[in-house]
Structure 1
Amino acid sequence: MTALRASAVTAAACAAVLATALPSSAINSYNATPAPERTEVGALVATWDHDGDPATPDRVDWVCSGTMIDADTFLTAAHCTTDWPDNVRFYVSLDQDVQGGLDAAARAHPGDPAAQARAVAVPGTAHSHPAYPGPASDTHDISVVELPADRLGARWSFTPAALPTANQLGKLGPKGLNATDWTVAGYGTQEAARGPGGHTHPGGGVRLKAPVTFDALNDSWARLAMTAPQGNGGACYGDSGGPNFAQLDGRRILAATTITGDGPCYATNVTYRLDTPGARSFLAPFVALP
């Protein structure tokens, strides 16, 4: 979906336009590198109706990022899995280049979005937080997609991301979090580029990673700096739901998920903490919590 909060359908259509007009990339262009080793990080793919005939889907695209948190549970954002047409179907792909796969599938299966989705991804069932959208203090912007573990495991090898313990970020506090190495990953577009028609966000659909640094913490949110002069990269449109890893006690922890940020994608990644009581209570029925 987006680093800014927007409807999934709008962002999906935007991603489709960008993917056909510009070369694929992900995360901001500065200080970013490919992330083929981050096999637990995936893309949320959707098929849906766009022509008024709900009998069959006629659109397919990747729409958000996310992370496998056990063998059959994909964590993403609720704004990625809500406000869709009734016949939406969600899939998860752990391919490094999802856009390239969709392009190849479109050539192999013209006019068949469902077959195109199956060519790159595995179907699943989405569960959004029932209280989304909540107040600004806690929007409950979290969801999971349950997947058939046998089909996923047969297709990709991955080690699920480790979740934080209860209030792990809060216990560290700003001083400890400032000293922590942070990494954002996802499939999203690049920062705003100026053009004759105004700002555009090129790229999208390839898994990349970039360093970010801690900025601020409150009850539900961790704010991470994406400023280039400090050596940071950052998230942008299409990275919503994707992981922000923190190196804690020698382990890579999935500390928070990308939710929103500044429009041009230059300054701040606002991420949803996963160590809070609200996030943990939502996740508890789906995954064993540390």
Structure 2
Amino acid sequence: MPITRTAGRAALAAALGVLLLTAVPAHAINSYNATPAPERTEVGALVVQWDDDADPATPDRVDWMCSGTMLDGRTFLTAAHCTSDWPAGARFYVSLDQDVQSELDAARAAHPGDPAAVAAAVAVEGAAHQDPAYPGPAGDPHDIAVVQLPAAPVAARWHFTPATLPTAGLLDSLGPQGLNATAFTVAGYGTEEAQRGPGGLTHPGGGVRMKAPLTFDALNNPWVRLAMTAPQGNGGACYGDSGGPNFATVGGRFLLVATTITGDGPCYATNVAYRLDTPAARTFLAPYVTLP
């Protein structure tokens, strides 16, 4: 059963890109078998501006929180747990820059004490819409959301080709043999796998768009589970990759078939991604984009 965040914990939870499913957190891109992804121009970072101390006299906080994908010129797909349970007045932005963390660092130096200017310097503001059925039961948490952006500022700032969505029931139609033979790729801005140091386990990195190969593990409604195990040549997702894309090459086409939601805590084994070819996902997306 998904555990929703309270407003008081929203900033911390979203900073980790966390949704709990049977007490297992969501995740981001590993260091092993992963490479930078400057060519994946449709993949972006969700940037949030919010009040993290309930004191109107102090500046709001601005940071990148999750990952996502442009579906057309103005629609950014992400996870509902990335856009929900924020303090009142939270503002959502999208950046398609390759290195969002460096852009934020430079903007903070240029606009000290002005969070709105920092956010505007790195990203375009939009309106978040999440599935009204979120958080649903474990059988389908409806963990899907979009951020609707003004098309002109996005086009003026970045050049990209929107992702291609799958047809209804595509993953089911491939069958076990087809899924096992399918090449999967995960992308996002998240941190690396758990690393042990003097202070205990940490997840370094984050804020740079990366990609990694995955292989098929299991399929059900609403999940596709993808193996991240290094010996098989896989990489995978980790904290901050929530909402980010899982692509599949099917019939020579590079398709956005699922979004990262959860996985194992250390980010070594399995990426659990929300399918986009199911009736529930397509029903949510239909008002915002043209479905294949």
**TM-score above 0.5, yes or no:** yes
Does the Cα contact within 8 Å between 1:57 and 1:114 map onto a contact in 2? no
Q: Which residue of 1 aligns with 2:285?
A: 283
Does the Cα contact within 8 Å between 2:190 and 2:241 map onto a contact in 1? yes
Which TM-score applies when normalising by structure 1?
A: 0.92
Q: Which runs of 5+ in 2 are unaligned?
A: 18-27
Select 1:111's aligned residue among 110, 113, 116. Answer: 113
Secondary structure of the structure 1 residue equivalent to 2:71: strand
User: Which amino acid in 2 is paired with 1:47?
Assistant: Q
Q: Which residue of 2 aligns with 1:99?
A: 101
Q: CA deviation at 1:54?
A: 4.5
Instruction: Show the 5 A alignment for 1:1-290.
Output: 8-13=10-15, 27-54=29-56, 57-290=59-292
Does the Cα contact within 8 Å between 2:4 and 2:135 map onto a contact in 1? no
Does the Cα contact within 8 Å between 2:48 and 2:91 map onto a contact in 1? yes
For residues 255 and 269 of structure 1, what CA distance do their matches in structure 2 show? 13
For residues 120 and 66 of structure 1, what CA distance do their matches in structure 2 show? 16
For residues 39 and 78 of structure 1, what CA distance do their matches in structure 2 show? 22
1:169-208 per-residue CA deviation (whole Å, 9 max, x = no partner) reads 0111221111011000000000001122221100100000
For residues 201 and 120 of structure 2, what CA distance do their matches in structure 1 show? 33
Coordinate RMSD, CA, aligned = 1.6
Change (3 A) 1:36 1:153: same
Moved more, 260-269 or 190-199: 190-199
Does the Cα contact within 8 Å between 2:67 and 2:242 map onto a contact in 1? yes
Q: CA deviation at 1:57?
A: 5.0
For residues 107 and 78 of structure 2, what CA distance do their matches in structure 1 show? 24
Could you tell me the percent identity over the aligned residues? 76
Secondary structure of the structure 2 residue equivalent to 1:10: helix
User: Which amino acid in 1 is paired with 2:214?
Assistant: V
1:5-47 per-residue CA deviation (whole Å, 9 max, x = no partner) reads 97652144559xxxxxxxxxx7100000000000000000000
Aligned length: 277
Secondary structure of the structure 2 residue equivalent to 1:240: coil
Q: CA deviation at 1:58?
A: 1.4
Does the Cα contact within 8 Å between 2:45 and 2:67 map onto a contact in 1? yes
1:70-92 per-residue CA deviation (whole Å, 9 max, x = no partner) reads 11000000000001001100000
Q: CA deviation at 1:53?
A: 2.7
Q: CA deviation at 1:51?
A: 2.4
For residues 81 and 209 of structure 1, what CA distance do their matches in structure 2 show? 23
1:247-281 per-residue CA deviation (whole Å, 9 max, x = no partner) reads 01110000000000000000000000000000000
For residues 57 and 77 of structure 1, what CA distance do their matches in structure 2 show? 27
Q: CA deviation at 1:56?
A: 7.3
For residues 13 and 222 of structure 1, what CA distance do their matches in structure 2 show? 24
Change (3 A) 1:169 1:49: same
Which TM-score applies when normalising by structure 2?
A: 0.92
Q: Which runs of 5+ in 1 are unaligned?
A: 16-25
